[in-house]
Structure 1
Amino acid sequence: MITAGPFNLHGLAALVTGAGRGLGAAIAAELAAAGAKTFILSRNQAELDDLAQRIAADGGQAQAIVCDITDAGAVQSALDGIPRLDILVNNAGGNIPADFIDVTPEQLDSLLLLNVRSVFLTAQAGARKIMASGKGGSIVNISSQMGHVGAARRSVYCMTKHAVEGLTKAMALELAAHNIRVNTVAPTFVLTPMTEAFFKEESFRDWVMQRLPMGRLLPAQEVAQAVRYLASPAASMVTGTSLKLDGGWTAQ
């Protein structure tokens, strides 16, 4: 555990949504390793307990909170139950790839609820909690390279991530007066439980690799390190921006 230097989060409290596995688990472990008391939130008790044990074994602090992120009342109750908040990582999200003309109203509503509405309301509740301390803090919304470009079979996902990028800029302007910084991390494709099924399709994997100038997938650990940077004193003047970890995807 690192407890000194500009990336030190010792004494701070962080909440990570969608923390049970994948990117969320990597982010939570990284923040805990930096010294933050980390609240890990998802719907799966077993996954959270396993992560909390792994964080504790590495000398960190983590407390599990079982909660459905799409239930705004439950999220508010969860925030009410923690003593303070300095860092919020809005990580929970999902995707349902489909051709634009085949997207159903149910799929549309599901992704809007998870990727936009829940992000907005969780950020709103989190900002109020951070403001209560009067010490400022950092909110990191996990976006995507698809929040900057378009892609076939990802019309709804692109729409929701563009919304997150716009929300982040507006939040940054309003919350700067409270010393709360708001940014996004926009990764390219990462091999996670959510994307693993996609990469089993050879044609999809070939499509991704042909468009990634760096020629490799992004390790979850690098996403976690980017979040740690944005949450730390090293990024004290960084707000309203998107940190793209896209291997050059959006430069084309």
Structure 2
Amino acid sequence: MTLKLPRTPSFRLDGRNALVVGASSGIGQAAAVALAEVGARVTLAARAIDKLELTVASMNDLGLEGMAVALDVGDVEAMEATLVSLPVFDILVNSAGLARHGPALETTPADFDAVASINLRGAYFLTRAIARRLIEAERPGSLINISSQMAHVGGIDRAVYSATKHAIEGFTKSMAIEWGCCGIRVNTICPTFIKTPLAEQTFSNPERVRWIEEKIKLGRIGELEDIMGPVTFLASDASAMITGTALMVDGGWTAG
């Protein structure tokens, strides 16, 4: 007698269209490469088209499929107009982000508005725009916002940044509830400190680096490669029953 055993769902994304926003460097760039490596047709988006084109050329040299498009999530109307001219995306990875760190007592309204415009307002309307096209096309999808461990804790000089990331977690849960009936999953990935250009200012402070390494239970700062597997997992059928949640990639920071 032969048993019918369950089989692991595929991590492959062949035939699927993926949009990665904030893909000119750092986590977004790594996410674009990760999705292309498992077969997705990846559209890389950011404000700086020249950096995107260099990334796409390097991906093409490796036999990976990608194209570049200029997109500014801070300009919601222009962003939505651009997306209408592009394919329906089965996968979204939103890695566009802005940080203006400093003590809460020194926060200016201009700094608050600038960070919230990208991290919260832009993320909200980008996620909505991709979902709307999927619903109109009656297609399922996986929408991923790159959040932060600071969406679950507080941090020194992080009041504004943390506020926007907490808010992302809130709308992610609500959107997941609304669109679950359409087969659209909405999740976040919450990294710890990762070696990216965005974090260079923090890593230039030896005291701050010591504080970070003490908080990360695995005892090391994150690498871009640490994000690539989680992105692939949440984009694929391997995570088909996961929605409305946060995948912590924080080396144990929030466990303590």
Relative to the length of structure 1, the TM-score reads 0.96
Report the CA distance between 1:14 and its aligned residue: 0.5
Structure 1 unaligned spans of 5+ = none
Using the alignment, how far apart are the partners of 1:84 and 1:141 within structure 2?
18
Q: Within 5 A, what are the aligned runs for 1:148-187?
A: 148-187=152-191
Determine the C-alpha separation between the residues in 1 that align with 2:194 and 2:113.
25
SS of structure 2 residue aligned to 1:229 = helix
Residue 34 of structure 2 is aligned to residue 30 of structure 1: yes
1:201 is the counterpart of 2:183: no
For 1:132 and 1:56, the matched residues in 2 are separated by 32
Matching residue of 1:232: 236
Contact 1:150–1:158 (CA<8 Å) still a contact in 2? Answer: yes
Letter in 2 for 1:130: L
| Structure number with larger C-alpha Rg | 2
Alpha-carbon deviation of 1:132? Answer: 2.7
TM-score, with length taken from structure 2: 0.95
Corresponding position: 1:76 with 2:80: yes
Aligned to 2:49: 45
2:255 — aligned with what? 251
Please state if 1:147 is matched with 2:151. Answer: yes
Distance 1:74 1:50 in 2: 24
Q: Deviations over 1:74-106 (max 9, x none)?
A: 211221111221001111012111101111111
Q: Distance in 1 between matches of 2:100 and 2:88?
A: 35
Aligned to 2:118: 114
Tell me the SS of whatever aligns to 1:171. Answer: helix
Residue identity (%) = 39
Question: Which residue type is aligned with residue 67 of structure 1?
Answer: L
CA distance in 2, matches of 1:150, 1:25: 27
Task: Please report the RMSD computed on the Cα atoms of aligned residues, expressed in angstroms.
Answer: 1.2
Q: Which moved more, 1:82-91 or 1:9-18?
A: 82-91
Runs of 4+ in 1 over 6 A off after TM superposition: none
1:197, distance to aligned residue in structure 2 (A): 2.1
8 Å CA contact 1:33–1:58 kept in 2: the answer is no
Give 1:130 shift. 1.8
Q: 1:99 aligns with which of 87, 103, 108?
A: 103
CA separation in 1, counterparts of 2:9 and 2:185?
20
Q: Which letter does structure 2 place at the counterpart of 1:71?
A: D
**Distance in 1, Cα, partners of 2:67 & 2:77:** 20
Map Cα deviations across residues 91-139 of structure 1 (whole Å, 9 max, x no partner): 1012111101111111111111111000001011011122232120100
Unaligned stretches of 5+ residues in structure 2: 1-7
Contact 1:27 1:221 in 2 (8 A): no
The answer for the alignment partner of 1:136 in structure 2 is 140
Q: Deviations over 1:9-34 (max 9, x none)?
A: 00000001111001100000111111
CA distance in 2, matches of 1:160, 1:101: 17
